[in-house]
Structure 1
Amino acid sequence: MAITAGMVKELRDQTGAGMMDAKKALTETEGDMQAAVDWLRAKGLAKAAKKSGRVAAEGLVGVAVEGGVGVAVEVNSETDFVARNAEFQSMVAEIARAALGVAGDVEAVKAAPMGGKTVAEIVTDKVATIGENMTVRRSARLEADVVAAYVHNAVAPGMGKIGVLVGLKSTGDAEKLAALGRQIAMHVAATNPASLSEADLDPALVEREKQVLTEQARESGKPDAVIEKMIVGRLNKFFQEVCLLKQAFVVNPDLSVEKAVKDAESDVGAPIAVTGFARLEVGEGVEKEDEDFAAEVAKTLGR
């Protein structure tokens, strides 16, 4: 029997299975829809789909660097127990390595080849075997002369709760550049800057902040000329707080990051430019359901 696209879509809608899995199920059962559903259930793939509605706000960020390319990938799970599972950690490490070979967007990472399947298919398989919803949520990619990485709260090499990449452009000593880049990456992990520089800030964010500062200044009752100067000064302070290059360097708060980079040029032996950074923190922006410890244990045990 010919398997049509409509049949594949219907089966996917019923089970949440991947396209190739749905097509294979229909082929194996000669187009029998109910038998195909049972086939997927038997393989654990329909079971995985049932879990896909659960909130996955735990997990790990995996980072990998090769040559002048660095990637960070956030892979979520429902509980921290699974994030500490060696099987899950091994999968995250493999996904990060697979991400090195594709574009930076998360859909490209999901479609990347890994162990004879795609990353998305591997994750689906793990959902079925481990028994929790998992998802590849976000990814980032940097290319530069030197890409440095830092993982905060590392649970294994190259993975933890926060992953940071920093790109540096320079013809200087690569080893010293990497050391500087790691320091900057540690700074980024701690301060979570909104942008590299003032020019990179979201204009809407700047305008919103300016409006707030304007209203605050007007409350002082001072003349307009004074208010205008107050706004300029407060905006500059805002830029120092949220722009990486203007922030006080955590390694030496007496210097801005920009000044610390400039001072490092003599040691590196060439001009240095920070070309970009990426910071991924597990569960950032995900609304997590409140759950007590006992309930988390029970869920992990499948009760």
Structure 2
Amino acid sequence: MTITAAMVKELRELTGAGVMACKKALVETDGDQEAAIEILRKKGEATAVKKSGRIAAEGVVFTAVKDGKAAIVEVNSETDFVAKNEKFQTFVSNVANQILDSDAADIDAFMAEPWALDTTKTVKDELVSQIAVIGENMNIRRFKKIESDGVLASYIHAGGKIGVLVDADAPANDTVVAAIKTVAMQIAAMSPQYVSREDISDEELAKMREITIDSALNDVSSLPKPIQKDIFAEAFASDALNAEDKAVLEEKQNDKYLFNFLSKEAIAALAAIAMSKKEAIMANKIFNGLVEGRISKQLKEVCLLDQTYVMAADGKQTVKAYLAEVSKEVGATVALKSFVRFETGEGIEKKEEDFAAEVAKQMK
């Protein structure tokens, strides 16, 4: 069957997929539009078959805190314009407040429970109604709930682009609440993954170490000089490098800019030699010191208590030291128990297409 431009145009309007993707799908299905749509869906190309099929990667994060309970939820929309819409914001607020009193353990259970403001319908029914009224696909993507007998604090950044909940074991007074609020701001800005090093499992630490070791070995230019010399010696004794690179290596092996003169192939060959000597290099004390230093640096980035406090007057004080200071001021221990950080659209692939540009490109 001949695939016409009109058929491609119609399929493109139905799905939002690219010109060539639509044409290829129609060719594969011999012009069967429904089958072509199915192919595009499977390949992730279809973006507008219906409102509920469109990518909703914008939206807001909202928090609610009440009576020792806190909830954080992310609700997505297709555009930032709708995310700022008053109806959308009200709906998200209502969702967050319902989560506070909900026993639902996951999204599916939450979507099936009665809508608190109209129990004749479910949360899912209300979402569908809002999609019809607002005119864009929307999605209650995820939520988290915390119950605590300590101090709960929340922080919303950039109108809902980032939301944070923090749970602390501490006395509830104005000084502590203010301090935990600033820690929530820290979490929003610096995106830690753990409260402290103790929260990292042995498996995760082992994986971090393995990645750090392999990364170091694959960057021979960063290795200690004694180790480099061993790698260079093996390179000279083998055919891993061509004659030109061997000449460069022999002439400039003590030059700090050596790797600027070597070919990409030579650099890759040296990395391969380093990886082949991995076990022996790992026994080297200097190399182990390098690895430990890099791991320590990573831990300071991913562990909240190890991070430099963003409001530190000296630019050096850690979050742990700041909380110790607050503890001393209030005469009681202020300890962080957990936190939750949601960032709108994180992990969702945003697909941007320009139909006119696509057509122009295909016409060349």
Cα displacement (A) at 1:230: 2.1
- Maintained 8 Å contact 1:114/1:122: no
Shift of 1:215: 2.9
Structure 2 residue 151 is matched with structure 1 residue 149: no
Quote the residue 1:115 is aligned against: 117
Alignment of 1:237-252 (within 5 A): 237-252=297-312
Name the residue aligned to 1:268: 330
Q: Contact 1:173–1:269 (CA<8 Å) still a contact in 2?
A: no
Structure 1 segment 144-293 matched on structure 2, within 5 A: 144=148, 145-154=150-159, 160-170=160-170, 172-201=171-200, 205-218=204-217, 219=220, 220=223, 221=227, 224-252=284-312, 253-291=315-353
Superposed CA deviations along residues 20-49 of structure 1, whole A, max 9, x for unmatched, are: xxxxxxxxxxxxxxxxxxxxxxxxxxxxx9
User: Which whole-Å CA distance do the structure 1 matches of 2:326 and 2:194 have between them?
Assistant: 22
- In structure 2, give the amino acid aligned to 1:142: I
Counterpart mapping for 1:33-182 below 5 A: 50-103=50-103, 105-112=106-113, 113-116=115-118, 117-144=121-148, 145-154=150-159, 160-170=160-170, 172-182=171-181
Of stretches 143-152 and 195-204 in structure 1, the one that deviates more from structure 2 is 195-204
Are the counterparts in 2 of residues 102 and 108 from structure 1 also a CA contact under 8 Å?
no
Which secondary structure does the structure 2 equivalent of 1:190 belong to?
Answer: helix
Compute the displacement of 1:263 (Å): 1.0
1:118, 1:111 → 2: CA distance? 6
* Paired residues of 1:95 and 1:114 also in contact (CA < 8 A): no
Within 2, Cα distance between the matches of 1:203 and 1:136? 34
- The letter of the residue matching 2:341 is R
**TM-score scaled by length of structure 1:** 0.73
Shift of 1:202: 5.6
Write out per-residue CA displacement over residues 218-276 of structure 1, whole angstroms, 9 at most, x where no aligned residue: 43217712212222222111110111111111111321111111110122231111000
Question: What TM-score do you get using the length of structure 2 for normalisation?
Answer: 0.62
Query: Offset at 1:119?
Result: 2.2
**Do the aligned partners of 1:142 and 1:276 also contact (CA within 8 Å) in 2?**
no
- Report what 2:41 is aligned to: none
Q: Could you tell me how far 1:131 is from its partner in structure 2?
A: 1.5
Comparing 98-107 with 51-60, greater Cα deviation is found at: 98-107
Cα–Cα, structure 1 residues 118 and 177, in superposed 2: closer, same or farther, change >3 Å?
Answer: farther
* Structure having the larger proportion of residues in strand: 1
Alpha-carbon distance between aligned partners in 2 of 1:203 and 1:91, rounded to the nearest angstrom: 42
Q: How many residues align?
A: 241
* Structure 2 residue matching 1:248: 3-state secondary structure: coil
Q: Which amino acid aligns with 1:286?
A: I
State the SS of the aligned residue for 1:194.
coil
Structure 1: give runs of 5+ residues left out of the alignment. Answer: 1-48, 155-159, 295-303
Q: Compared with structure 1, are the counterparts of its residues 226 and 258 closer, same or farther at alpha carbon in structure 2 (3 Å cutoff)?
A: same
Distance 1:108 1:148 in 2: 26
Worse-matched range after superposition: 87-96 or 113-122: 113-122
Shift of residue 124, structure 1, vs aligned partner: 1.1
Quick check: 197-206 or 82-91, which moved more?
197-206
Structure 1 position 204, deviation (Å): 5.1
* Corresponding letter in the other structure for 2:182: Q
Separation in 2, partners of 1:120, 1:50: 17
Letter in 2 for 1:133: N
Structure of higher CA gyration radius: 2
Mapped to 1, the partners of 2:132 and 2:143 lie a distance apart of 23
**SS where residue 102 of structure 2 aligns?**
coil
User: Which position in structure 1 is the counterpart of 2:261?
Assistant: none
Q: 2: distance between equivalents of 1:141 and 1:208?
A: 29
The whole-number CA distance in structure 2 between the counterparts of 1:120 and 1:244 is 36
CA distance 1:202–1:135, shift in 2 (3 Å): farther
2:74 maps to amino acid: E
Matches of 1:111 and 1:266 in 2, distance apart?
A: 48
| 1:244/1:85 CA distance change after superposition, 3 Å | same
Q: Distance in 2 between matches of 1:54 and 1:204?
A: 38
Change (3 A) 1:216 1:224: farther
Decide whether the 8 Å contact of 1:72 with 1:96 is kept in 2.
yes
